[in-house]
Every structure is written in C-alpha cells, then in structure tokens.
Amino acid sequence: MAKSRNYSKNVFINCPFDTKYFELLKTLVFTIVYFDFNPRIALEISDSGQSRLEKIVSLIKESKYSIHDLSRLQAKAVDEYYRLNMPFELGIDYGLRTFNNSYSDKRSLILETERFDYMKAISDINGFDIKNHNDIPEQLIECLRSWFSETVGLRDLNSADKIYSDFIDFNTDLFRRKMNKYAGKHNSTEAERFADSEIQHMTMPEYVDAIVEWKSSD
Amino acid sequence: MAIKKSNHVIPSKERGGWAVKKSGSARSSRSFDKKADAIEYGRTLSRKEKTELFIHRKDGTIQNRNSYGNDPFPPRDRRH
C-alpha cells in the first residue's frame, strides 16, 4: 500500500486532551513545526462520519514519526481513573511497525512527567526512547530537540533555550497581530480581551497555520 | 517578524517557577518561585525602561499586557 505523500514529514501526537495538558501541547506543536515537520493529531479533524479509532489509525499510518506522552498514566485523585488511550495508541503504532514490514522505518518518542514513572505502569516498554519533561515547557523542548537530533537525524539545531525564546516571541507576535485586528474598532482593554479569546479558541489547524506564518515572516 | 523591545514573565525550567526575560534574549533576567514575584519585578523593570510587559501563561499565550511608555495600543478617546 502506498504511504501518505507527507509520510516522512508527519509526526503523530498521542497525548491526553485535558486542560492541564494543553499547557504543554502548544509547546509540543510549536516545536514540531519549528523543525519543519507536520504535527498530526486527532484534534485536527472533526468528521463525525469517522470513528475516533479509525481517525487515529489513519493518522498513525500517515506518520513516520510519533510522539506518545504517557504522563497521565497515574490517577491524581481518589476515584479518578488513569488514562488508557495513550498506551493503547502506542500499542497500535508499535504493532504496525512490528508486524508490517512497510512500516518498519517508523520511529517514536515516549514522554513522561517524571523519570521512570512508566516502569510502575507499563514496564514492557523498557528500552524504548523515553524522555521526561516534568510538565515544564522548556524541558519538553529539550526532550524534543534531543529526539529530533538523535533519532530523526536533524543537525545544527538551535539550542533549546533559543527555541523557547522564539516560542515566547511567536506568542507575543500572535497577540499583537490579533490586537491590531481589533484595536481599530475597540478600546485597548476590549481589543486585548477579544485577542486573548480568539487565541484561546484557535483550532489546531489555525494554530499550526499561525506558526507557519510567523516562521515565514521571520 | 521583528518584535518591539519588551519584558516577559514566562514559565521557567528552574524548579517549575517563573522568570522575567527581555524580548529576543534567550537568557532570563531573574528567576522566581512564585509568578506574583516575577510580575512585580517585571513591572518595576518595565516602568524603569518605559517598555511593555507581557505576562504569559504556562502554555506561552499572553495573559496580560501592560504598557509603561510608548504604548503601541494607546487608550482610544471615546469623546471624538
């Protein structure tokens, strides 16, 4: 079966979709686009005719690379269930790579919050490329930069603190652009509120487009 | 796109705290355990330098913007 046209540039993101993780997801997506790769995530499509699992399997097949964040395997409160979607999707990705020779070139990165957390929940993956970010955006960039260098094979990459600085500049520039959009017709307080609201509710494709636009104007 | 000179309160990798840094600089001016302390330092610095202060959320987006001189978005005069 022919692979997707952008297979070698696609990075499937398997992560929790809770509010807390969204704090890291924006950093994750920015860094992937920063390195000229395409983040592929279940949030990018809302086709009610396709089941969530079908959608995820398609994304996995279309992506040579995948990033699996297992940092929500542990329930944080009494009566809270731990999350099984991420290890399940990691299993699908691993199965495709293992049982189908056409996909033996797939490569993945596994992320967790604290080092060796995974050993308590899913020790079978011992030996995989696993990095921990402590839920801190700049440390997540360090994990990604290392992986893109070691596994994907990119060279002469900017330092992690330069990438983080660019991430902050991107967010500032995005806010200013949105402020400019509203400032003509509204006072600065209202313009700020509208700008912030628009940014907070950007869809994943809009967010990716904004990063691409910022990169091209740099 | 070129960014005008400004100060930023941002999440820091040091113990999960907060830092103040200048636009375009990869290094932080100072790090703090609490966001409130970073904001206070950022305000003092921005007043002194007559620049904008951007307070970021943990996801990098802007939570607040304060201008302490040469405001690119000055308040509009509603009477005219």
Render each residue's pLDDT in chain A as its tens digit; 218 residues: 678 889 999 999 999 888 888 889 999 999 999 999 999 998 877 766 678 899 999 999 999 999 999 987 666 676 676 778 899 999 999 999 999 999 999 999 999 988 877 777 777 777 788 899 999 999 999 999 999 999 999 999 999 999 999 999 999 999 999 999 999 889 989 999 999 999 999 999 999 999 999 999 97
For residue A185, the chain B residues in CB contact (below 8 A) are none
Chain B residue nearest residue A27, CA to CA: B59
Determine the residue type at A14.
N
CB interface of B with A, residues 49-68, below 8 Å: 54, 56-65
Burial of A84 (0-12, 13-18, 19+ CB in 10 A): exposed
Cβ-contact A22, B59 below 8 angstroms: yes
ipTM of the complex: 0.86
Chain B residue nearest residue A162, CA to CA: B26
Structure pTM? 0.91
CB interface of B with A, residues 4-43, below 8 Å: 6, 8, 10-13, 16, 21, 23-27
Contact B24 A169 (CB under 8 A): yes
Contact A137 B60 (CB under 8 A): yes
Closest CA relative to residue A178, chosen from A167, A166, A168, A190: A190
For residue A21, the chain B residues in CB contact (below 8 A) are none
Residue A210, C-beta contacts closer than 8 angstroms, at least 6 positions apart: A170, A174, A202
Sign of the CA dihedral with A60 first, then A63, A64, and A69 last: negative
